[in-house]
Amino acid sequence: MEWAVRVQILSQMGISEVPSQYIQPPKNRPESVTENIADLSCKHVPAVDLCSEKESVLPAIREACREWGAFHVFNHGVPTKLLDGLRRACLPFFNDFQMEDKLKYACNPNFAASEGYGSRLLVSSENETVLDWRDYFDHHTLPLSRRNPSAWPHFPPEYRELMANYSDEMRVLAQRLLALMSESLGLKASCIEDAVGEFYQNITASYYPPCPQPDLTLGLQSHSDIGVITLLIQDDVGGLQVLKDGEWLLVDPLPNAILVLVADQTEIITNGKYKTCVHRAITNASKARLSIATFHDPAKTVRISPVSDLVSQSSPPLYSSVLYRDYLSSWYSNAPEGKRNLDKLLLDTSNYCSALYAIKKRNKNSQVLFHLCNEIKFDVCIEASKA
Ligand SMILES: O=C(O)CCC(=O)C(=O)O
Ligand SMILES: [Fe+2]
């Protein structure tokens, strides 16, 4: 299939059957796509009012991050005008631009997360490509050295300014949320942010055209986000689902709320105390859907490992440390297709724990050794513990 094929073209052709590349294997299909999408489930992701007292915010965040890896925030300080303005501004590119004008903004398919207009593919472990029923526009927004608004749609005239303002607001909110998440684990407020360093932020507007066979396709396949924290807004159509205790639950499209998704690096940093959220997007036959996701990632040169304050004899390190660049490349070369990329970093905690503690007992500088153990080969730790 030509790279330049966009889902929107297929949708506008009025086909009654989707091309075979878009058909999910039966195990991945949405089980039931009912007419009334809101009826799909009665369980809701938790909501946190950020204006409440800290004594109630921290336990609410702790519970949500442990049990769901996702929660809505209200009273988040981001002006409603900006949320609505950006949602509105993102539509003309998908709805009104001619395809030849859209393709002037095409991303480079040879680079992962290249900026611009595209239709991303995930390649399954069997190397069979199943395509998502989704087009998107990816913006590189932070650090400022990556931000080049002239690469973003030129229409409507306020687009670029809105996107830049939104990027700044999301950074502030992400920092505030990571501070609350740190505190909710009894860590100092800057703990998670210190572990991440300067944010690399990308903003992706996803557009899911109406799909003639929503029961066979997915807008976006099951995945967890690979970075630290994702902040997502959507329109009123609905279609985002989160996986909770083996069940796919629809996320209510709440206009003034921002959805927080815990991503993989936060699960590593918190030593599994907080769970990355597995999610996907389903499609529907009648209405196009828009979502805007803001991803916050570490720089590629940052090494991520569980913070030592969350590692103890009763809570051994669950994950080995990883250079973010290596995490990224393993994700892109072997996209997980429903499996957690994170699981590749899982340690054998029983052995690791005894090795680590044997070494610690003999050495006062346990902090250094903890990081060493993470970086050197695991069996070397075992040998060292026996010596
Ligand atoms: O469209 C959505 O609601 C989900 C988007 C998403 O998960 C992503 O871009 O990673
Ligand atoms: Fe995602």
Nearest ligand to the CA of 292 is 1
Domain presence at residue 310? yes
Ligand 1: distance of its center to the CA of 288 in Å?
14
- Would you say residue 2 lies in a domain? no
> Considering the domain boundaries, does residue 261 fall inside one?
yes
pLDDT beyond 50 at 240: yes
Could you identify the residue written with the tokens 């992706």? 204
Q: Is the pLDDT of residue 23 over 60?
A: yes
pLDDT in tens, 282-310: 999 999 999 999 999 999 999 999 999 99
Report pLDDT for 336: 52
Tokens of 214: 């929503």
237 CB less than 6 Å from ligand 1?
no
Residue 387 lies in a domain: no
Q: Is residue 96 part of a domain?
A: yes
User: How many domains are contained in the chain?
Assistant: 1
366 in any annotated domain? no
Q: What's the rounded Cα separation, in Å, for the pair 203 and 349? A: 36
**Token representation of residue 273:** 């105390």
The answer, yes or no, to whether any atom of ligand 1 lies below 6 A from the CB of 225, is yes
Kindly give the distance from the C-alpha atom of residue 353 to the centroid of ligand 1, in angstroms, as a whole number: 37
Measured in Å, how far apart are the chain's first and last C-alpha atoms? 58
Strands (E), 124-253: 129-131, 135-142, 200-208, 220-224, 229-234, 240-244, 247-250
Ligand 1 center–CA 381 separation, angstroms: 40
70 assigned to some structural domain: yes
pLDDT band (50, 70, 90) for residue 347 = confident
The answer to whether residue 368 is domain-embedded is no
Asked whether the predicted pLDDT for residue 380 surpasses 50, the reply is: no
pLDDT score of 99 more than 50: yes
Q: Does 171 have pLDDT greater than 70?
A: yes
- Residue 15's domain comprises 7-31+40-361
For the stretch 42-73, pLDDT in tens is 689 999 999 999 999 999 999 999 999 999 99
- pLDDT of 181-197, one tens digit each? 999 999 999 999 999 99
Take residue 212 and report the two structure tokens written for it.
């003639």
pLDDT at residue number 42: 66
pLDDT band for 356, please (50, 70, 90 cuts): low
Q: For residue 302, give the 3-state DSSP assignment.
A: coil
Q: Is the pLDDT of residue 125 over 60?
A: no
Atom of ligand 1 nearest to the CA of 291: 1
Average pLDDT, the chain: 86
User: What does the alpha-carbon distance between residue 137 and residue 153 come to, in Å, rounded to a whole number?
Assistant: 9
Q: How confident is the model at residue 124 (pLDDT cuts 50, 70, 90)?
A: very low
Instruction: List the CATH number of the domain containing 65.
Output: 2.60.120.330
To the nearest 10 degrees (0 to 180), the angle between helices 378-386 and 349-362 is 50
